[in-house]
Amino acid sequence: MKVAIASDHGGFKLKEEVASFLRDTGIEFKDFGTFSEEAVDYPDLALVVAEAVRDGDFDRGVLCCGTGIGVAISANKVPGVRAALCHDTFSARASREHNCANILTMGQRVIGPGLARDIVSTWLQSEFQGGRHARRISKIEAIEQKYNRCSR
């Protein structure tokens, strides 16, 4: 599994914790930045990870900002991305099993490093269940296609 990670300045320390966790567990990843707490705009970093996941260069992505909300909204603008904001392990598992989320978002101002590690671990170990959930993912994809055609 290959994971793309990034954050803005508000999620920098949490992203560093995610990188440490991935390194400790031997999971291949690429850190797209930011590399300090100097102010940057979260949509820029979210877009890089979202496109990398959409294009198949990475299997999954993890994005952090102050709340996890801004990066989730930004990443979800990219067709084929299903970014899920998760601040507990139950939501992390459900986002994979039911929603086939391919990007996890979290907020540094919302959760601590220990919980973040648990969430990432749970999310990476969980798999899409398919079945009735596959029908729903197909409907999400149909919505994306409908509005991508109209925006051209």
109 is in an annotated binding site: yes
Catalytic residues: 65, 98
The H or E element spanning position 108 is none
Distance of CA 4 to the CA centre of its chain: 9
φ, ψ of residue 113 to 5 degrees: the values are -65, -40
What proportions of the chain, in percent to the nearest 5, are helix, strand and coil?
Answer: 50, 15, 35
What tokens appear for 121 in the block?
Answer: 């671990």
136 is in an annotated binding site: yes
66 is in an annotated binding site: yes
99 is in an annotated binding site: yes
132 is in an annotated binding site: yes
Binding site, by residue number, is 8-9, 66-70, 99, 109, 132, 136
Binding site for D-ribulose 5-phosphate, by residue number, is 8-9, 66-70, 99, 109, 132, 136
